[in-house]
Amino acid sequence: MDMDKAKILIVGGSSGMGLALARRCLDEGAGVIIAGRNAAKLNAARDGLGNPAALETAVVDISREDEVAGLFAGIGPLDHIVSTAADIEGVYRLLPEIELSAAQRVVESKFHGPLLLAKHGAPKLPATGSLTFVSGIAAYRPVARGAVVAAVNAALEGLVRALAVELAPIRVNAVSPGWVDTPIWEFVAGDKKADTLAAMAKRLPVGRVGRPDDIADALRFLIGNGFTTGETLHVEGGHRLV
């Protein structure tokens, strides 16, 4: 698919894999809106991308339906919607230590958010448009302390399949990353981030953990491939094999 002149909304586009996708889409000539809850991070991302004329920013909390509805009321037609957003702070804990409020934030950001983006965003898309979300390896290789994230990732993939049927011919897909070196690991592993990622790199068949650009490549494929819908694309270095 020719990205020139396409308009793409990327929720979570101020950092990590979302930012990598924004850069790639801009390089291909698309108009991009990066959205997130933190205006300062969005502004920093804009500066980091070179402040191009084709880039817009939008402050929105996708767990709030009024804000999602307001976002789509304020922007014109779109070609594609992507969400990489996830609020996992404080949720990687053993079952007796899990606080319901932290679990609810994961559900709101990774399940309710995509649901609301689909509800209010699909009417903005053409028949050739797409919605693409990000689940994760935890749904397939759960670990102790990761029960909530594993469950929400699995639920999101179920939502993707159902929406692909309901919203057809608009395409709906997910990317399931493995361990990717992004800022989210500061919440998961803290000051042990480097050692944790290095240990996983030794286990993986590809010999390294992922990079944001690896996931951006997968997201770009799903945006552009008009014959793929209801799918989860695994980009995890062979993690499901080990």
Indicate the domain borders of the chain: 7-184+211-236
pLDDT of residue 2: 79
**Cα separation, 18 vs 65, whole angstroms:** 22
Strand 31-36 vs strand 55-59: parallel, antiparallel, or unpaired?
parallel
Which of these, 237, 235, 200, 197, lies nearest to 219 by C-alpha position?
Answer: 235
Query: CA angle, 153 as apex, 209 and 72 as ends, to 5°?
Result: 105
Chain-centroid distance, C-alpha 229:
16
Domain 7-184+211-236: CATH architecture, name and number where available: 3-Layer(aba) Sandwich (3.40)
**Cα separation, 8 vs 89, whole angstroms:** 27
Token pair listed for 76: 């014109």
What is each CA distance from 164 to 40, 118, 157, 161, in whole angstroms?
A: 34, 10, 11, 5
* Residue 184: pLDDT over 90: no
pLDDT one-digit tens code per residue, 155-175: 999 999 999 999 999 999 999
| Rounded average pLDDT over 217-224 | 97
Q: Cite the DSSP H helix spans in the chain.
A: 16-27, 39-48, 65-73, 100-107, 113-121, 147-166, 185-188, 193-203, 212-224
Confidence band of 187 (pLDDT split at 50, 70, 90): low
